[in-house]
Amino acid sequence: MFKAIVINKDDKGYRAELGQLEESALPAGDVRVRVQYSTLNYKDGLAITGKGPVVRSFPMVPGIDFAGEVLESTSPDFKVGDAVLLNGWGVGEGHWGGLAQQARVKADWLIPLPKGFTAKQALAIGTAGYTAMLCVMALQKHGVKPADGEVLVTGAAGGVGSFAIALLSKLGFTVVASSGRPQEAEYLRSLGAAEVIDRSSLSEPGKPLARERWAAVVDSVGSHTLANACAATKSEGAVAACGLAQGMDFPGSVAPFILRGVTLYGINSVTVPKAKRIAAYEQLSALVDLKTLDAISHEISLGEAIQYADALMKGTVRGRVIVDVNR
């Protein structure tokens, strides 16, 4: 038996509860893992609270990422005792995820725990930091340089936003952070933001084209915020879109793309090829210092995950929430 957060939907309604599961109930997979840490991400918040149609089958164990140790493996890629990490691949949505003391998954979904990180540190980065790194890699591939001008980060006080600020500032960029939480301005500046603006300047309907300001954008918000960010991006600039906290609509115009040559990159952090996942973590290990991880993250127990999911959906959680599934 092992502890897990279990989501059910039946005659009693939609609910998430802390429960006990049998090992025999684990879904099919090549590798069984003793989970050490998972995290709470926006998608986990949607799943646990039922505020978004994230879960595709029931019962479901949420948790879109985890780090742990291999207990059993039929794959030649991993052996008992190996330290492993998982991000994405539909776990916590269609396949039982990491908010549990055990998981069984396909070997292709796992990578070895990146060198230089403990399991807890890797999960302090988690899907949010990994997604932020993928956004930064898209901007790097585009050729954006610090001399090109300011980079906007929306949803700045969240997990992706916090990491995007830290990564971009470490790479020498001038970062402007957009947030709806003025009380977090000092925190955002401590991560490297040169300026903090109120999200209201971006979250309302705007013009098809605005005054050029941003050399690049990392957006985890979507909807009007993304449309307005694109409208104010400089000629030949780039926007990396990775989230939908405001909405999954795009109430914008093609004007920035056909009149200014702006490129909009969609960042998929779910089904990323193994080589790219490893490359992302190699950059993260070079750019992220332990002090930043401590500033961005805090730890909770598995039993606290449900109440924190509700707070996450209300927008009152700062940075990263690491879940120690064994306490």
pLDDT of residue 126: 87
Q: Would you state the CATH architecture of domain 2-113+290-324?
A: Alpha-Beta Complex (3.90)
Q: Would you state the CATH architecture of domain 125-266?
A: 3-Layer(aba) Sandwich (3.40)
pLDDT at 167 over 90: yes
pLDDT of residue 78: 98
Query: Can you tell me the distance from the alpha carbon of 145 to that of 238, in angstroms, rounded to the nearest whole number?
Result: 11
Structure confidence at residue 215 as a pLDDT band (50, 70, 90): very high
pLDDT at 316 over 90: no
8-state DSSP, 105: E
Q: Which of 313, 287, 13 is nearest to 133 (CA)?
A: 287
Structure confidence at residue 116 as a pLDDT band (50, 70, 90): confident
Give pTM, 2 decimals.
Answer: 0.88
pLDDT of residue 187: 94
Structure confidence at residue 315 as a pLDDT band (50, 70, 90): confident
Q: Which of 201, 217, 224, 191 is nearest to 319 (CA)?
A: 191
- What are the structural domain ranges in the chain? 2-113+290-324, 125-266
The number of CA neighbours under 13 Å toward the Cβ of 307 is: 5
pLDDT of residue 180: 93
| pLDDT mean across residues, the chain | 95
pLDDT at 249 over 90: yes
- Tell me, yes or no, if the two domains 2-113+290-324 and 125-266 fold the same way: no
pLDDT of residue 173: 98
Query: Can you tell me the distance from the alpha carbon of 114 to that of 73, in angstroms, rounded to the nearest whole number?
Result: 19
Which of 81-85, 178-182, 292-296 is predicted least confidently? 292-296
pLDDT at 294 over 90: no
pLDDT of residue 130: 93
Neighbours of 247 (CB within 10 A): 13
